[in-house]
Amino acid sequence: MSQKNSRLGAIGEHMAAAQLMLQGWDAFNANTSITNMCSIDLICLNEQKQTALIQVKTTEENSFPTGLTMEQAKNRAEIEKHVAGPWIFVKKKGDKSAAQFKYYILSREDAIELIFQSNDWYLHKVDRGQKSVNEKSVCAIQEEWLNGKDYKAPRLNAETFVTPLKKSAQDDWNSIWL
């Protein structure tokens, strides 16, 4: 991972932790004590002493890399091994003092379902002609899906992807505790 991407990831983790604290919950970065904790970026505690192990994915693009390959995301059990708890997707726009952030929050179950269904759609519902998919490439989540919108892929000959999310996940902080 490049230094720029590492920095962007760290910014997303810190911004997500700050937003969790603004909700009245205690949050800290798991990666400060254990170098790049696998599948967990933040640990969060609420007033009822519940603990959430949160993964944070940050991007400046319209899609969020999941960290899973297309091959891994074909198997629900494999996804479940990599998704320890809820996920927060952080979208960063702008630079330095003009930076703005959007937050999309998915329960563990919603993250697993979205990754599995979207990867299945990409592998089986997109007509590539003679081209094959490199299953070592990274599975990604489109921002539109996180907004609860179905997706007609530009430049792809594909069926519309129907997101399993029934509403927008933007600022849905209580999904942490589902």
By the 10 Å C-beta count (0-12 exposed, 13-18 middle, 19+ buried), 93 is classed as: exposed
CA separation for the pair 86, 111 (Å, rounded): 7
CA separation for the pair 2, 20 (Å, rounded): 27
17-28 mean pLDDT = 96
Vertex 123, ends 144 and 86: CA angle to 5°? 50
CA separation for the pair 22, 82 (Å, rounded): 27
CA separation for the pair 73, 170 (Å, rounded): 23
Q: What is the reported pLDDT for 66?
A: 96
| Structural domain range at position 39 | 3-177
Sign of the Cα torsion 118, 105, 84, 11 reads positive
Q: What is the reported pLDDT for 157?
A: 78
- pLDDT tens, residue by residue, 113-159: 999 999 999 998 887 777 888 999 999 999 999 999 998 877 777 88
Q: What is the reported pLDDT for 51?
A: 96
- pLDDT tens, residue by residue, 47-97: 999 999 999 999 999 999 999 999 999 999 999 999 999 999 999 999 888
Cut 0.75: pTM above it = yes
Give the pairing type, strands 100-106 and 126-127: unpaired
CA separation for the pair 131, 35 (Å, rounded): 39
Vertex 109, ends 106 and 115: CA angle to 5°? 75
More confident residue, 87 or 10: 87
Q: How many domains does the chain have?
A: 1
> Is residue 65 left, alpha or beta, with left meaning phi > 0 and alpha meaning psi from -120 to 50?
beta
